Amino acid sequence: MATSRSYNDACGMAHALDLVGERWALLVVRELVLGPKRYTDLRAGLPGISANVLSHRLDELEQSAVVRRRRLGPPAGSSVYELTEWGQELEPVIKSLGRWGARSPSRPREANLSVSSIVLSLRTNFDPDASEAVDVRLELRFGEEHFLAEVNRGRFEVHRVTGSQGAAPEAFVETAPITLAAILYGGHDLDVAVDSGELTLDGDRQAVELFVTLFRLPTPAAG
């Protein structure tokens, strides 16, 4: 399905933009890459979107087979939106686009940053060369959303905490996405964040200090 403002172009890229090129569409996809979300969760992750626009984008993405809506069983009884298998294939596209945008000299660094954004940035900007001898397991907590981040000698995985996670993490870190981004990419000192209460750390502090050195933004483009 193409939107009413179709490019009417046989190129695969043009058709892709017909499907996910409308304003907010790819950001809705970004919010669903890490797993299903309720409508209210999507609104929370995209505070700048109106209810009407979000509903319209979800309808379009559902009709295009990028997103599907699923009814949860009892006791929840609510509906969630999730990416289809085909829709999930957009993750590397979003990560590549994110790295490209991160090189922009005009990127707004103090704007809103959702939980999905910071977690996907970890997947995108992990430096395997810096972690060849590193074995670290942390739980990252952003309010009610918790993620297990595991570095294992050049490999990295981060996923939502659901039930038993095997071995206990070496440390638990609770903070806001924008604070973690400032530490990882903006030179904000971990000790300052802890002392100010911006970040709460429970467990092996050295493991956290090592973890935050393993992520690199791409070189900025010439301005």
CATH (domain of 199): 3.30.1050.10
Q: What is the largest CA-CA distance in the chain?
A: 57
Range of the domain at 65: 12-89
The enclosing domain of 32 has a CATH number of 1.10.10.10
pTM reported for the whole predicted model: 0.91
Structural domains in the chain (count): 2
Tell whether 122 and 202 lie within a shared domain: yes
pLDDT digits (tens, 9 = 90+) for 43-87: 999 999 999 999 999 999 999 999 999 998 777 668 999 999 999
Task: Report yes or no on 109 lying in a domain.
Answer: no
**In the chain, pLDDT over 70 holds for what percent of residues?**
96
Give the separation between CA 218 and CA 129, rounded to whole angstroms.
14
Query: How do beta strands 155-160 and 199-203 pair?
Result: unpaired
Give the number of other CB atoms < 10 A from CB of residue 207: 19
Tell whether 58 and 121 lie within a shared domain: no
DSSP 124-178: HHB-GGGGTT-EEEEEEEETTEEEEEEEETTEEEEEE--S--SSPPSEEEEE-HH
- Residue 112's pLDDT band (cuts 50, 70, 90): confident
| H helix count then E strand count, the chain | 10, 7
